[in-house]
Structure 1
Amino acid sequence: MYTNVLKPWLVVLLLVVGVSTPGYSDNPFKMGQVTAEDLKMISYAPDTSASAVVLHDLGESSFSFTKGTQLQFKRIIRIKILKKNGLDEADFVIPYYVQKDGRREEVRNIKGVTYNMESGKQVKIELDDKAIFDEKRDANWRLKKLTMPGVKVGSVIELSYTITSDFIKLLREWEFQHNIPVKWSEYRVGMVPFFDYKQITYGVHPYHIKDAKIEHKTAAYSYTDDVGYAKVDKNGSISMAVVQYQWVMKDVPAFTAEPYLSSASDYISKIEFELSKVQYNDDQPPRYVSGDWESFTKELLKEEEFGGQLTNTAYLKKTVEGLVAGKTDSLEKVKAVMEYVKSNMRWNGKNSIYTDNLRKAFDNRLGSASEVNLLLTALLREAGVAAHPMLVSTREHGRPVMNSPMISKFNYVISYVSVGGKNYSLDATEQDLPFGMLPMRCLNGKGWVFQAPAGKWVPLTGSEKNAQLVSGNLKIQPTGEVTGALTEKYLGVPALQARSSIRNKGKETYIKEFANAGPDWVRKDVKIHNLENLQETLKTEYQLNRTGEGEPASLLYVSPMLTHALDENPFKLATRQFPIDFATPVDETYTFTYQLPEGYDLEEMPKPATVTLPGNAAKFTYVAQMINGQLQVVSKLNINKTLFEASEYGNLREFYNRMVAKHAEKIVLKKKS
C-alpha cells in the first residue's frame, strides 16, 4: 500500500472541476433525529412489501495530514424495521484493513441506538461496547460485527462509526442500493489535489444530486523528518483547493436478485474509487499507481503472502518425488499432483488471494482456495512443470476490471499450467472436478495469469461438454399406470453438480431422496455408475412407476415428459434490467418411447414445435410421433449463447413460455368402443 508522508514544502494545486450547485448543506443529517412519524410508520408507500427501509444513509470521506497522510471515513445510517423478516437488518458488519507489519485501519466511535415506541413514548436502547466483536475474514481483512439491541417490528435503528486509514488506496466505495428500499443515500468526498482517483459507477438508477465544488482550505500537517542520525518532528499548515464531491440517490428500490444473474455487485447502484496518480508538487514527477499490469504482476509475485509463498518450497520435495516416480510424461505428472491435492487437501470454503503460511496449510491438510491452489502450483513447479498462479473473481464477487489493475476485484486463485503445448486452468478445491474443468463459480470472464514478464488475461471457459441426456422405454397400462426403465447421463457441469450432491448427502441418502419422484411417481432399483471415475459420463439407471386407477379408464391422460417437464418459467418478471448469464452452454435431450395399451386409440398428442432465438442463440425442438407402432417423444433444448443482454430478455422469456406450454401438453388415449 502506498503511504507517502506529506512534506511541508507542498505547494497549492488548484483543480477546476466545474460549478457547484445549490443544496450542499453543511450539516444534513445527525444521530438522534428520529421523529414520531418514523416510529409510527407501518409501511413504505413506494414498496408496501418491504420488510425494512433505509430512511437515511450518509457517508463522508476526507483527508487529514496531522499523522502523515490519512483517510477518514464517517458513516451514519438510519433504518426502519417494518416486518419480522426485516429484523436481520439489525446485524451490521464493518470491514477494516490490516497489514502483516501491524499497521491497520482503526474503527472508532461506534455508536448505535434502537428507538421504540412504548406506551406512547419514545424509548432509546444504546448499543453496549461489549456487544461488538472482532472476526478475522482473511489475511488482510478484519470484521467488526454487532447486532443492535432491543430490535422488534416497528423499531428505528441508527448506527454511526468512523474509520481512520493510513492506506490512501482504500478510499471507501459507496453503495446507494441495498436489498431493502433506500429513501435517501448520500456520499461526500473531499478530494485533495495530491491524489487522482478514477471513479467507477455501477447500476441503472440516476443521481438525484451530483455536485462538485471547490473550497479553499487550510490544513494542519505533522510529520517526522530524518536529519542526519536524528528524527525531527515538524508541524505546520498548508493551503489547498479541495474539491467537495456530493452524490445523492433517493427513492432507490430494493435490489432484487434475478435468475441467472452472476453477481449483484456488478449491477447494484454504487460508486468505487481507484487511486491512479500521486503527485505532491509540480517539481516531482507523478507516481502512477494503477494502469500498469507489468508492475502489478511483479509486485504481487514478490508479495510475501502471495508469490513469496512459492519461493521456498523445499518441504514439498519428498512428496513430489513420490508422486512422479516412474512417470516420464509431463501431463501424467500434472494429473498425479492434481489428484494428490484434491484427495489430501480440504478446502475450508473460504475464497482468498493471500495466505499467511502455505506450509502450515499443507501440514494441516486444510486451507482457503488460495492455499489449496497455490500449493498445487508449488507442487507442480517442484515436479518441473510450468505452473503459474492465476487471479480470478468468482461469479458472486463480480467481474474483474480489465482496463487497470485493482486487487480488490479478485478474490480467488487457481493454477495455470502449460504442458505439451496445451494450457490448463486447474482448481483443486473440489474432489468431484474432472481434470481441466473449473467449478461454476470460476466461470466469470477472464483471469489474470502471473507469468513473466508482464502476465496476461486468459478466458475462464471449460473445454468439457455440458449435457444432460435422458432416455426411457415405458409402457402405459389401461388403468393409467406407467412403468419403464430410464437412463440419465450427465457430462460437464451437470455431472459435477450431481456428483457433488451425491457426495454431500451420502449415496444412500441421495438414492432415498431420489426415489421419491413426487406425487404418484416412484423411482426403484436406482443404480449410479462412474461416480468416482470423473473423466467418464456419470450415469443413473432406475425403474420409474406412476400409479394408476383401480379399473381401466375410457380416457387416459399421460404427461409424456414424465418427471422432467419444465413446469414453470424461471423468468417471471415482465421486464428485466440486467443481463442473463447462463455461465455455460446448455444441452438437454429427452427421448421417451411409449408402448400404448391394447384396445386404445391415440386420440390426441402434442404437435411438433421448434422455437429458435435470433442468431441461433437458443433452440428448442419438440417432436411426438408414431414409429413402428410406438409413440416417441423427443424434447431438445440448446442454449448456445451464455450471456444475453437485458434487451434480449423479452425474446428469452417468451422462448421459455413456449417450452413450458409444450411440456404441459398431454397424450390422450381413448378406449375403443
Structure 2
Amino acid sequence: MRDILFLFAVCATFLCASQNYDIGMAVHKNELKATTYAKDSTANAVVIYDYGNSFVNEKTFWLNVEVEQKIKILRPEGIARGEFEIKLYKGKSSKEKIDDIKGTTYNLENGKIVKSHLTKNAIFEIENDNYTLVKFVLPNLKIGSIITISYTTKSRFMSKYQPWYFQSIDPVMYSEYNTSIPGNYNYHVKLVGEISLDTNESIIKRNCLDAGRGAYAHCSVNKYVMTDIPAYKPEGFTTTSRNYMARIEYELSVFKGFDGSVDKITKTWRDADNELKTDLNFGRQLGKKGLVKNLLPAEISSIDNPLEKANRIYQYVLNNYKWNGKSERYDVSLKSLIKEKTGSAFEINLLLANLLSYEDIDVFPVLMSTRENGLVTRLFPVLSEFNYVILKVIIDNITYYLDATNSYRSFGELPFRALNQYGRLIDFDEGSDWEDIEVTEISSRTHRIAFSSFEDDEFYGTIESGYSGYHSHGPKQQFDENASAYFNQKANNLTDINIENHEVLDFDKTKSTFNEKMDISLTPEFIGNKIYLNPFILKFFDENPFKLQERTYPIDFGYKDSYSYSMKINLDNLVASELPESVTFTLPNNAGRLLFNIKLVDNDLLIFFKAYFHQSIYNPNYYPYLKEFMNKVVELQNNTLIVLEKQ
C-alpha cells in the first residue's frame, strides 16, 4: 500500500511537468501524441522511466542486474537514443552475460498504436580481449516514437557491483535503483553529483542467501529514487562529467567468506602509504641522493638564500628536462630521465623533489588527479585514481606548489590541468593527508587605450595590454616560440584597427606577466557629421559562454580572474553629444562584480570597464546570476555606442 501511495504521489508530482507522460513501462496514446517536454523545451528526448534492480541469484550466486527503460523521442537528434551499446566485462576465468533482451518501438499511425519489436538477428556482439560489446538498434524509429527496452546482465564479479546513473544527456522524469547486497559483502557506497535523492530507503532481509550446510547471509535491501532530473549538458568552465553526473557507485571494502575468512579489499591510508613507500614508480624514486648529488652546478648549490636556491633549482630542471606529455604513474625512472633529458610528469617532478631535498629544502610530493581525469574519492584510498604529481615546498613557513613540466610558468604556478581542488600530500614519516589546492592570486587581462588625437577623420593612439597569472601563459609561449606569427595573428584578429607598431615590453618567460604596447589608428563610422564609436575595440568575450536553461554542476574557472578595460579620448576638436549610461551588477554574496562608467574630465572622455570574479568555483545556484552577468558583459561590449561630433 505504501508503494502504491508513493507511485500515486510521484504521478501527481509530474502531472504538470510530464504533460501526457505516464511513469511506468506501459505506453499510451496520450504519450505518443505529446510533442514536447515542458521542463526542457530543448530536449532531444526524455527518459520517462528508468528502473534497475541488482541482486545476487540464490542458485548461481551471480550478480543479476535487471534494467527497464522507456524513452520518448522528441527531435531528429533524439532518434540516436534507439541505438544501444552494453559492455560485458571479461575476466581471466569468467565473463559477464546478458539475457532476455527485449525492445519495442511504439508509433501512432492513423490513430492506432503500432508496435515494432526488436528481433534477435538485429542484436550483434563484438569481441575484444577485455569485454564483449553488445549492440542493437530498435526498428522504425522516428520523431514521436516511444521506445521500451529491458534486459538482464549476469556477473560473477562482485567487486564490480553495478553502478547506477540517474542522470543522462536527456532529462529523466523518474529513475529508480534497487539493490540487495548480501551481508558478507561490505561496500563503500558513494553518491556522486549535486542532485539529492528523493527516496533513500533501506531494510534488512533475513536469510536472503542460503549457502548450504547452515551457512547463510542477510541482505541489505535498498531503494533509491530520483525524480525530475535535468539533462547533463556539457558546457565550458568545468572539469570532466565524471565529477558531477548524478549516480551511485560501489567500491568493495571487505569480503567475509562463509568459511569465516575475511578478505580486506580496501586499504587504509596507512596501508596505502606503506604501499607507495616501496612502489618502484614512486617511493623508490625518492631519496635518490646518489643520482642527484653532482647534478646541480656549483653556482646553484652555493646559494645561501633558500627561496632563491629553490627558484634556481626549479629553473634548472625546466631548462634541462622536457616533459613528454605523459602523466600516469608507471615506468618511472629518474635514471632514464637524467640520461634521456625527457620524461613524464612523475619523473620530472620527482627529480625536482630529490634536488630540493638534497639541498635541505622541505618538499613533499602531492598525488593528484587532473581536471580531465576527475576528482578522487576522499572516503578511502583508490591509488589508481591518481594520475599526476606536484610538489609542495615550504620555505620560511610559506607554501609554494611546483610543477616543472612547462617553462612558461613562474615559480609557484601550477598547470591549469592540476587545478582540481585537492590532492594527497605524501609524508612517509608523519603519514599522508589531504591538501587543498587553491590559487589565491588573481589572474588578469587589462587593456588601456588612449586616443591622443583625431586627424583626417582617424583616431591615433596606443593600446597597452597586460596579462598576469594564467592569462599570461598562452601569450608568453606564442610570442617566444614565433614572434612574427604572434604579431600576424594579432593583426588578423584586430581587423578594425591599423597597427602601426608593436612592442613586447620587458619579456621574461619566468615571470607571471606579459605586457605589450601597440601604436594604432582607427577609422570610425560616420553618419553625417556624427561619429559613432563602440569603445570596445578589443573584446574579452565574443559571446555568453553560459547558454543552458539549467546547470546542475559547478562553474569551475580554476582560478580567480579579472578583466579591466579603459579608454581615454582627447576631445581637442571633438564634442561628445551622446554617452551611454553607467552599469553596475553584483553577484550574490559579493562573489563578483561588473562596473562600467563614462565621464568627462577636462578635455578628455574617460571610459572604464571592469569585471571580476572573487571565486574560482561557483556552485550551481550561482548559474542564473552568472548567466545574467555575462549577458550584460556581452551586451556592453557589442552594443555600447559613443556619439561624437567634429567641432
Partner residue in 1 for 2:97: 109
- Cα distance between partner residues in 2 of 1:164 and 1:370: 36
1:321 matched to 2:294: yes
Which one of the candidate residues 355, 371, 392 is aligned to 1:416? 392
Deviations 1:274-300 (A, max 9, x none): 55666669999997956x544443343
Question: What CA distance in whole angstroms lies between the structure 2 residues aligned with 1:670 and 1:206?
Answer: 63
1:31-50 maps to which residues of 2 (within 5 A)?
45=37, 49-50=42-43
Distance 1:165 1:109 in 2: 11
Report the counterpart of residue 417 of structure 2 in structure 1: 441
Which residue does the alignment assign to 1:618? Answer: 592
Among candidates 630, 643, 647, match of residue 668 of structure 1:
643
CA 1:164–1:297: 2 relative to 1, 3 Å: same
Partner Cα distance (2:505, 2:161) in 1: 54
Partner of 1:177: 167
Partner Cα distance (2:587, 2:383) in 1 = 38
Equivalent residues in 2 for 1:106-255, closer than 5 Å: 107-109=95-97, 124=119, 126=122, 128-129=124-125, 131-133=126-128, 154=142, 164-165=156-157, 168=159, 170-182=160-172, 185-201=175-191, 202-204=193-195, 206-207=197-198, 210=201, 212=203, 214=205, 216-220=207-211, 238-249=215-226, 252-255=229-232
Correspondences of 1:608-647 after superposition (within 5 Å): 608-613=582-587, 616-647=590-621
* Corresponding letter in the other structure for 1:511: F
Partner AA of 2:278 in structure 1:
K
Confirm whether residue 466 of structure 1 aligns to residue 457 of structure 2.
no
Q: Which moved more, 1:415-424 or 1:521-530?
A: 521-530
Distance (Å, rounded) in 2 between the aligned partners of 1:637 and 1:43: 42
Distance change in 2, residues 1:503/1:195 (3 Å): farther
Report the equivalent of 2:15: none
What whole-Å deviation, never above 9, does each CA across 1:160-196 have from its counterpart, x for those lacking one? Answer: 7655437x4x544322112233466443432222343
Identity of aligned residues (%): 24
1:512 to 471, 476, 488: 488
Q: Does 2:484 align with 1:494?
A: no
CA distance, structure 1, for counterparts of residue 46 and residue 480 of structure 2: 41
Cα RMSD after superposing both structures = 5.0
* Higher mean C-alpha deviation, range 429-438 or range 605-614: 605-614
**Unmatched segments (≥5 aa) in structure 1:** 1-18, 25-32, 98-102, 135-141, 222-235
Normalising by the residue count of structure 2, what TM-score does the alignment of the two structures yield? 0.75
Deviation, structure 1 residue 323: 2.9
Equivalent of 2:571, from 592, 596, 600?
596
1:463 and 1:266 map into 2 onto residues whose CA distance is: 23
**Separation in structure 2 between the aligned mates of residue 347 and residue 486 of structure 1, nearest angstrom:** 36
- Give per-residue Cα distances to partners, 1:448-474, cap 9 Å, x unaligned: 200122223333123544222211222
Aligned amino acid, residue 109 of structure 1: K
SS in 2 for 1:474: strand
- In structure 1, what residue type is equivalent to 2:391? S
Question: 1:271 Cα shift?
Answer: 1.5
**Offset at 1:608?**
4.3
Query: 1:105, 1:165 within 8 Å by CA — same for their partners in 2?
Result: no
Partner residue, 1:562 = 537
Instruction: Choose the corresponding residue for 1:83, options 72, 76, 87.
Output: 76
Q: Which amino acid aligns with 1:514?
A: K
3-state SS, counterpart of residue 323 of structure 1: coil
Confirm whether residue 271 of structure 1 aligns to residue 245 of structure 2: no
Supply the distance in 1 between the matched residues of 2:62 and 2:359 (Cα, whole angstroms): 46
**C-alpha displacement at 1:429, in angstroms?**
3.1
Moved more, 427-436 or 324-333: 324-333
Cα distance change on mapping 1:203 and 1:152 into 2, 3 Å: farther
1:666 deviates by 1.8
TM-score normalised to structure 1 length? 0.72
Q: Deviation per CA, 1:535-594, whole angstroms, max 9, x where unpaired?
A: 152123334444446x78411111122222656544455665544443322232222221
State the 1:606 CA deviation.
3.2
| CA offset digits 1:239-291 (Å, max 9, x no partner) | 1212232334466431123554455444322113355666669999997956x
Counterpart AA for 1:390: V
Q: Could you give the per-residue CA deviations for residues 40-68 of structure 1, whole angstroms, max 9, x where no partner exists?
A: 9997746564445667766555568999x
CA distance in 2, matches of 1:272, 1:347: 34
Alignment partners' CA distance in 2, 1:127 and 1:346:
49
Query: How many residues are treated as equivalent by the alignment?
Result: 608
- Secondary structure of the structure 2 residue equivalent to 1:520: coil
Deviation string, structure 1 residues 8-66 (Cα, Å, up to 9, x no partner)? xxxxxxxxxxx995799xxxxxxxx99999xx999774656444566776655556899
The superposition leaves residues 450-503 of structure 1 with CA deviations (integer Å, 9 ceiling, x where unpaired) of: 012222333312354422221122257477644432121111111124345667
Measured in 2, the distance between the counterparts of 1:466 and 1:618 equals 14
Match of 1:16 in 2: none
- Structure 2, unaligned runs of 5 or more: 7-24, 108-113
Which amino acid is the alignment partner of residue 418 of structure 2? Answer: C
Distance 1:628 1:377, change over 3 A: same
Corresponding residue SS for 1:377: helix
**Equivalent-residue separation in structure 2 for 1:510 and 1:582 (angstroms):** 26
Q: Is the 8 A contact 2:188 2:253 kept in 1?
A: yes
Q: Report the CA distance between 1:441 and its aligned residue.
A: 3.0
Relative distance call for 1:419 and 1:64 in structure 2 (3 A) is farther
